[in-house]
Copies of this chain bind each other. A is one copy, B any other.
Amino acid sequence: MTHRLFGTLCVIGPGLIGSSVLRRLRAQPGLVERLVVSDRDPAVLERVRCLDLGDIVTDDLVAAVGEADCVMLCVPVGAIAPVAEAIMPHMKPGAILTDVGSTRRSVVDALTPHLRNDISYIPAHPMAGTEHSGPDAGFATLFEDRWCLLTPEPGIQQDQIERVSAFWRAMGARIRVMDVDHHDTICAMVSHLPHLIAFTICGTADTLAEDMRSEVLDFAASGFRDFTRIAASDPTMWRDIFLNNSDALLSVLDRFSQDAAAMAQAIRDGDEHTIVETISRGRRIRRSLLENRQA
């Protein structure tokens, strides 16, 4: 028999991540007794009803969170603190507030002043996604074998952290608990910088002369194809990530820009040693990734 994790779970913002959580819970009945789903967009709620992803589907945030043992915010990073502030007075004493944001420091700083003492805020970042978005884009296996990073502040009760960990393990994820700022630097490097670069290079291609641009599209080799896959991601979500993790992101971008300038100089100088050394590093990192069974 499945161990029940929450009586009532409220998912706010059933997009790619939120609807994947809901699908997984539908596939494993018993983990949660009742699913409440809320969004401000009526079209999204209509899709959620059609897909039968919630027991109660409503645009009334206050009513949605009132009975919830856990409220999970699956809204873009920039909306987490405002939505949390709006629902805070209406949450049940002892409830857990969690989210699925990709950046942490700015969210924690904005949200903390509004936190009630009888609510445990346990931020979670499931490192999973595709370039698609919206309630139709989700699928139950999205989190399978992916990491979910929890960044609770000191002082949060261990048993509450354990409930959120158990929830994400039930989603198929592996759990790591870490410090907020450490999280933001790691994610700036492995996810936010690659996305910024992918968006930028597509823009660079887009500004080429009209005749050349059409050929760029004709001849997009595998290198460029991979970049455009990343670059097809949701603009609002990534705008919020960039703005909310700007310090860590600009710091790794600065390192990267220096490294790119050094590579350019090596090419200009015909410095074969530096070029080969830089390329070889890619192979080493790739090998390490394979050893970590992440590739």
Contacts and interface: CB of A to CB of B under 8 A. Distances in A.
A149 interface: yes
A86 interface: no
Contacts of A224: 189-191, 194
Contacts of A279: 199, 231, 233, 235, 238-239
A32 B196 CA distance: 48
A100 interface: no
A286 interface: yes
Interface in A180-219: 182, 185-187, 189-191, 193-208, 212, 215-219
When all copies of this chain in the complex are counted, the total is: 2
Nearest to A295: B225
Contacts of A186: 212, 215-216, 219
A63 interface: no
B204 A255 contact: yes
Nearest to A285: B202
Contact of A216 (B190, B238, B272): B190
25 contacts: A127-B221, A186-B215, A189-B216, A189-B224, A190-B219, A194-B223, A195-B223, A196-B260, A196-B263, A198-B282, A199-B279, A199-B282, A202-B285, A204-B255, A217-B294, A220-B289, A226-B226, A228-B282, A231-B283, A232-B283, A235-B280, A239-B279, A242-B267, A243-B267, A246-B267
Interface of A: 127, 129-131, 147, 149, 176, 182, 185-187, 189-191, 193-208, 212, 215-233, 235-236, 238-239, 242-243, 246, 249-250, 252-257, 259-261, 263-264, 267-268, 270, 272, 275-276, 278-289, 292, 294-295
Q: Which 3 A-B pairs have the closest CB atoms?
A: A231-B282, A194-B223, A232-B286
